[in-house]
């Protein structure tokens, strides 16, 4: 169970409610699902009789067959492996169902309370929407516009004329400048958005900085990881497409354009002016310089093989009289 | 045109002024260049008749021949490819000229106004030069000295006895300690300067921390990227040479010494005690471990070739009856 | 000598005291070691007659034979190479001894003074132990518990119900949430601890965020580098074992478990759910994907050799008539 000091659970849900949230079909329950209660979510190996778990990967079949979970989200292919005591909730997307039920149990019951700290520094010309939470030490500069229901955590800095949509969260000490941010965006602590890009003309007399005259546009439902950095454009804007997920310590250079739903893992860097758009379903890249992932794995295997051959050859030479 | 919410343009410049700033020669203008006005800067593909653009790379010749820009900075080799409607400004360094004119249009007209926020926390023993801007939540600790014309952005932290030269900018929530910083330095948000380096004696009884007794010295005209980290020296100082440009999320370990005008791209790391000095003009390195860039590219090509040969060999084997 | 603006030296130590601290045997001193004073520490090449230096690596033998240091920590194998003027302090662990003496000289004499800034924002329900130093702009939220003797630097943010052990330091603008931190932990500026991990269910209808219901547990005596990021667990906790040293800009994903005394160098990333435990003494890994370090170096050598062979072959072909 989640540590109640840090997480607030909103009360049990009935099996019927859980099945509806997860878009799943109940299998193996003889009682009225409106009267069977589910109190928590947990992984297969630690879940108990009142808990919901899930399996979406054959790798975990053994844990599944041994689980004490009272309820398990499972796809059709694995449902016959369910242990006796467990009620199956059959769905094509067990992990998605688990995510939605977890949200309902832990995030659903928290009504947003407007709370603007006296110790926040909000310029008189800034506009703050209804129901915002603004922490102590947060700075909101002249002309900035913060939409309704936003959370601006302590010591975050919102620069001049920055625009933020509804229900967006800006993490502790994050800084935003020269940017327009959509709704339901989640910006983690220490992220840096909109600072000038790395642009200068090289010259024997000394580098000459090129003013970076673009912005950062962050569309709706984006997540930006802790301490990630997104530079503003040099002229055109830097754009992060709707629903993109960016992990921690990621660098996005000036003029980068991510399409919708891009996923960028931790510590990845995307060089200035790169565009990420649709790739073929299931495709992937690897290596440095980047290449098709299978080609890269094949090259790595080749290298290993050659090295082994060379070792064998040397051993052969050494053994010769 | 740059978003006026974020950028202030200081008014048009005459063609004569622009030519002087860019150190360029005007070609193809029949009117008095003191009476021809240039209002903005823009890339070739979006520039209009009142705009200045530039070309310094043959890759963009096609965009150049089709541009609607009224004025283009161009070098001698490409000047005959200029489209009919455009006035050429011929110079050996078109990008440098573009940078200088952009600065004049967008940064020239902003007189520095002294403005020290009541919500900044400045120790009584700190010294603040004339004309500084200090944002709300900025902390300047005992004995620190901030030169004239500096900008200390909101929630930045200047540690005890830190010394900062004139016209330096410290970005939002950046932190400086145990360091001496020159003039006209630009430190981006979230940069970390002067914390103790990663120094400890390994011992089976537990690691023993080695006090890091050096400083960070940042010479004039350096730029340090967002969320980059520069540790102070273990004994000798960590030194960043004048005019060096350091991108975002860069790590410089204790005792690193960069010479003048070094460029360190995003997410690069330089291990403790490394010295970066002059390399042969035009040289470069790549790969891991680092090697001469051409050697590295040749090795990568070799690997690709071997892998293709192996694939062909396997196909051959499979086709055999 | 360390810059007195940034470092406070607590006064000279006698040779006898130094030998005791470093667990070393004095060789080559004819005077009473209680009356011979050592005033500072320094590297071999800059140390003078009143300074203590050390050598623990044959690489530096030449510097050792030429040093002007009055006192040198040295192991048995090298003691006969000591220069005439130097007193040897013979120990199996010269660097450890140097670390301990440096601590005594530079950190021993600073009694902790309780000092809670009026400009810190401390929630009335937070608990602050005795002798804490809390800087201006630091935010300590509801229910947080800070142990005795802690230092919370300016603009750091301690989240709701976070628990911190005794004598821990939280650097400027660092942020902590959903975590329990041990004693004597050193968290550098800008570190991000406890934010939600990178967890979501992929779905054609849009990614669904999975609530991250675990915590970060940081055991005693850990060091966490500047701008490093440690995500909280997805369900189980993320755990950093006692005495671990984590450098700058490191990423530790959700559910990562480090054992005791792990060392993670700058800019390393450890993917979610990875466990770091004991490895064989002296073992190491390299390359991408990671492999045994010797295998990796052998592969790199193989690649270099093949590339050279190919170059030679091509030259041979070109020379043919």
A139 - beta bridge partners?
Answer: A121, A157
Mean local confidence (pLDDT), B130-137 = 96
3-state secondary structure of A41: strand
Length of chain C: 321
B247 contacts A198? CB cut-off 8 A: yes
Q: What is the pLDDT of residues B87-98, one digit of tens each?
A: 999 999 999 999
Please give the CATH superfamily to which domain B13-106 belongs. MurE/MurF, N-terminal domain (3.40.1390.10)
Q: What is the pLDDT of residue C179?
A: 97
| First-to-last C-alpha distance (Å) of chain A | 69
**Cα C180 to chain centroid, rounded:** 20
CB contacts, 8 Å: B223 with chain A: 209
pLDDT score of C291 more than 90: no
pLDDT for the residue B320: 57
Per the CB < 8 A criterion, the answer to whether A120 and A156 are in contact is no
The answer to whether A271 touches A249, Cβ cutoff 8 Å, is no
Count how many residues are written for chain B.
321
pLDDT at C281: 56
SS3 B245: strand
First to last CA, chain B: 68
The three-point CA angle B120-B122-B126 to 5° equals 150
Please state, in angstroms and rounded to a whole number, the distance separating the CA atoms of residues A113 and A132.
8
Percent of chain C with pLDDT over 90: 68
**Separation CA C199–CA A54 (nearest Å):** 15
CA distance A229 to A233: 13
Contacts 24+ apart (CB under 8 A), A119-125: A119/C121, A120/A152, A121/B117, A121/B119, A121/B136, A121/B137, A121/B154
pLDDT (tens digit per residue) in B101-125: 999 999 754 556 679 999 999 999 9
**CA A5 – CA C161 distance, rounded (Å):** 6
The C-alpha of B205 sits at a distance from chain A's nearest C-alpha, in angstroms, of 34
Which chain B residues touch C311 with a CB distance below 8 Å?
Answer: 298
Contact between A171 and C195 using a beta-carbon 8 Å cutoff: yes
Mutation test of the interface with chain B: which of A229, A234, A265, A301, choosing the one with the most B Cβ atoms within 10 A? A229
Report d(CA B309, CA A306) in Å as an integer: 13
Residues near A52 by beta carbon (within 8 Å), at least 6 away in sequence: A18, A38, A40, A41, A42, A69, A70, A71, A72, A73, A89, A98, A101
- Residue range A253-281: average pLDDT? 82
| CA dihedral of A133, A189, A139, A209, whole degrees rounded to 10 | -150
Half-sphere exposure of B193 (CA within 13 A, CB side): 39
What average pLDDT does the segment B266-294 reach?
A: 69
DSSP codes of every residue in C248-285:
TT-EE-TT-EE-TT-EE-TT-EE-TT-EE----TT--E
Per CB-CB distance under 8 Å, the chain B contacts of A198 are: 225, 245, 247-248, 265-266
Q: Please answer yes or no on whether B5 and A229 come within 8 Å at the CB atom.
A: no
Please report the DSSP string for A196-221 in residue order: --S-EE--TT--EEPP----EEE-TT
| Alpha helices for chain C (secondary structure H) | 15-22, 61-66, 94-106, 293-319
Helix axis angle for A293-319 and C293-319, nearest 10°, is: 90
Cα separation, A206 vs C226, in Å, equals: 31
CB A182 within 8 A of CB A166: no
More confident residue, A42 or A315: A42
pLDDT tens-place string over residues B185-237: 999 999 999 999 898 988 888 899 999 999 999 999 999 999 999 999 988 89
- Stretch C264-269: mean pLDDT: 90
List the one residue out of C165, C191, C188 whose CA is nearest residue C177: C191
Question: Which of C119, C120, C121 to probe by mutation at the A interface, max A CB count within 10 Å?
Answer: C121
Contact check, Cβ <8 Å, B99/A210: yes
Q: Percent of chain B, pLDDT > 90? A: 68
The tens digit of pLDDT for each residue in A133-148 reads 999 999 999 999 999 9
Is A121 in contact with B267 (Cβ distance < 8 A)? no
Mean pLDDT (whole number) for B74-96: 93
* Distance from C-alpha of B221 to C-alpha of A205, rounded to nearest angstrom: 13
- Print the SS3 string covering A49-63: CCEEEECCCHHHHHH
Does a cis peptide bond (omega within 30 degrees of 0) precede residue C289? yes
Beta strand pairing status for B25-27 and B87-90? antiparallel
Q: What is the pLDDT of residue A299?
A: 73
Q: Do C245 and B160 touch (CB under 8 A)?
A: no
Give the percent of chain A with pLDDT over 90: 68
What is residue B286's predicted lDDT score, i.e. its pLDDT? 60
Choosing among C198, C270, C288, C304, which should be mutated to test the A contact, i.e. which has the most A CBs within 10 A? Answer: C198
How many DSSP H helices and E strands does chain A contain? 4, 35
Q: What is the CA radius of gyration of chain C?
A: 26
Does the distance separating the beta carbons of B267 and A267 come in below 8 Å? yes
CA distance C220 to chain B (A): 12
Quick one: closest CA in C to B199, which residue?
C99
The three-state secondary structure class of A280 is coil
Per-residue pLDDT tens over the stretch C56-114: 888 899 999 999 999 999 999 999 999 988 999 999 999 999 999 999 999 754 556 67
pLDDT of residue B275: 73
Mean pLDDT, range C19-25, rounded to an integer: 96
Residue B302 to residues A276, A294, A302, C21: CA-CA distances in angstroms? Answer: 29, 17, 11, 57
Q: Mean of the pLDDT values across residues A242-271?
A: 92
Residues with Cβ within 8 Å of residue A244, at least 6 apart in sequence: A219, A222, A223, A258, A259, A260, A261, A262, A263, A264
Q: CA geometry: angle at C15 spanning C13 and C16, to 5°?
A: 100
Q: Is the pLDDT score of C280 beyond 60?
A: no
What CA–CA distance (Å, rounded) separates A253 from A272?
4
Look at residue B204 in the predicted model and tell me its pLDDT. Answer: 81
Q: Where does residue B43 fall: left (phi above 0), alpha (psi -120 to 50 degrees), or beta otherwise? A: beta
pLDDT at B283 over 60: no
Instruction: Give the nearest partner residue to C139 out of A136, A288, A304, using CB atoms.
Output: A136
Is the pLDDT at A108 greater than 70, yes or no? no
A35 is catalytic: no
Highest mean pLDDT among A312-321, B250-259, C180-189, C287-296: C180-189
Q: What is the dihedral of CA B97, B101, B103, B106, to 10 degrees?
A: -150
Q: Residue A85's pLDDT is what? A: 87
**Of A60 and C278, more confident:** A60
**SS3 category, A152:** strand
Report, in this order, helix, strand and coil percent for chain B, each rounded to 5: 20, 25, 55
Query: Is pLDDT at B178 greater than 70 in this prediction?
Result: yes
**ω before A256 within 30° of 0 (cis)?**
no
pLDDT in tens, B4-42: 899 988 879 999 999 999 999 999 888 999 999 999 999
Confidence of residue B290 (pLDDT cuts 50, 70, 90): low
Residues of B in contact with C6 (CB under 8 A): 160-161, 177-178, 215
Across residues A60-73, what is the average pLDDT? Answer: 94
Rounded to whole angstroms, the Cα distance separating B23 from C268 reads 46
Quote the pLDDT of residue B107: 76
Please tell me the least confidently modeled range out of A32-36, A217-221, C100-104, C271-275.
Answer: C271-275
Out of A209-223, B146-160, B258-272, C127-141, pick the least confident.
B258-272
pLDDT mean across residues, chain A = 89
Q: What is the pLDDT of residue B238?
A: 95
Q: What is the DSSP string of B150-214?
A: -EE-TT-EE-TT-EE-TT-EE-TT-EE-SEEE-SS-EE-TT-EES---S-EE--TT--EEPP---
pLDDT at position C304 is 72
Of C285, C306, C307, C304, the closest CA to residue C296 belongs to C285
Binary contact (B153, A157; C-beta < 8 A)? yes
Rounded CA gap, A176 and A215, in Å? Answer: 11
What was the pLDDT predicted at B214?
A: 93
User: What is the average pLDDT across C235-241?
Assistant: 92
Closest alpha carbon to A197 in B251, B223, B260: B223
Give the pLDDT confidence score for residue C320 in this predicted structure: 58
Neighbouring chains to A with at least 3 Cβ pairs closer than 8 Å: B, C
* Contacts of A305 by beta carbon, 8 Å cutoff, 6+ apart: none
Q: Is the pLDDT of residue C175 over 90?
A: yes
The shortest C-alpha distance from B188 to chain C (Å) reads 13
Q: Where are the domains of chain C?
A: 13-106, 287-321
Q: Are B269 and B231 in contact (CB under 8 A)?
A: no
Q: What is the mean pLDDT of residues C213-225?
A: 96
Q: Which residue of C has its CA nearest to A22?
A: C208
Please compute Rg for chain B using Cα positions.
Answer: 26
Q: Which of C99, C90, C146, C88 minimizes the C-alpha distance to C122? A: C146
N-terminal to C-terminal alpha carbon distance within chain C = 69
- Which residues are paired to A73 by β-bridges? A54, A89
**Across chain B, which distance is largest between two alpha carbons, in Å?**
90
Model pLDDT, residue A93:
94
Chain-chain contact of B261 with A159 (C-beta, under 8 angstroms): no
Spatial strand order in the sheet of C216-218? C127-128, C145-146, C163-164, C179-181, C216-218, C238-240, C257-258, C275-276
Residue A119 clears pLDDT 80, i.e. is over it? yes
Shortest Cα–Cα distance, A232 to chain C (Å):
21
- Alpha carbons A176 and A29: distance in angstroms, whole number: 51
Q: How far is CA C263 from CA B202, C228, C240, in A?
A: 10, 14, 11
Q: Is C124 exposed, middle or buried (0-12, 13-18, 19+ CB in 10 A)?
A: exposed
- pLDDT, residue A311, reads 72
A 10 A CB-CB count for B320 gives: 5
Closest Cβ opposite residue B207 in set C153, C154, C243: C243
The two beta strands, C13-14 and C37-38, are antiparallel
CA dihedral defined by B96, B98, B100, B106, rounded to 10 degrees? -150
């Amino acid at each position: 169970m989640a540590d109640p000091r840090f997480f607030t659970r909103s009360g049990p849900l009935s099996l019927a409610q859980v099945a509806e949230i997860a878009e799943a079909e109940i299998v193996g329950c003889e009682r009225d699902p409106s009267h069977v209660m589910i109190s928590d979510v947990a992984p297969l190996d630690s879940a108990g009789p009142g808990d919901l778990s899930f399996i979406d990967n054959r790798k975990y079949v053994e844990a599944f067959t041994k689980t004490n979970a009272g309820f398990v989200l499972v796809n059709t292919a694995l449902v016959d492996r369910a242990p006796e005591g467990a009620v199956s909730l059959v769905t094509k997307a067990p992990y998605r169902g688990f995510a939605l039920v977890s949200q309902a149990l832990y995030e659903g019951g928290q009504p947003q309370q407007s709370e603007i700290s006296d110790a926040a520094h909000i310029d008189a010309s800034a506009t703050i929407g209804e129901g915002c939470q603004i922490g102590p030490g947060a700075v909101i500069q002249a002309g900035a516009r913060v939409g309704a229901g936003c959370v601006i955590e302590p010591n975050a800095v919102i620069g001049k004329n920055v625009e933020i949509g509804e229900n967006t969260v800006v993490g502790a000490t994050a800084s935003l400048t020269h940017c327009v941010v959509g709704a339901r965006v989640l910006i983690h602590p220490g992220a840096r958005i909109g600072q000038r890009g790395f642009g200068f003309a090289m010259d024997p007399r000394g580098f000459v900085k090129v003013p970076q005259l673009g912005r950062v546009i962050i569309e709706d439902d984006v997540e930006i990881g802790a301490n990630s950095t997104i530079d503003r454009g040099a002229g055109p804007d830097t754009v992060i497409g709707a629903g993109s997920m960016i992990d921690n310590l990621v660098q996005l250079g000036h003029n980068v354009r991510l399409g919708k739903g891009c996923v960028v893992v931790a510590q990845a860097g995307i060089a200035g002016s790169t565009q990420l758009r649709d790739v073929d379903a299931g495709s992937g890249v690897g290596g440095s310089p980047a290449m098709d992932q299978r080609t890269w794995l094949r090259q790595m295997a080749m290298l290993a093989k050659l090295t082994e051959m060379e070792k064998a050859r040397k051993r052969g030479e050494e053994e010769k009289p």
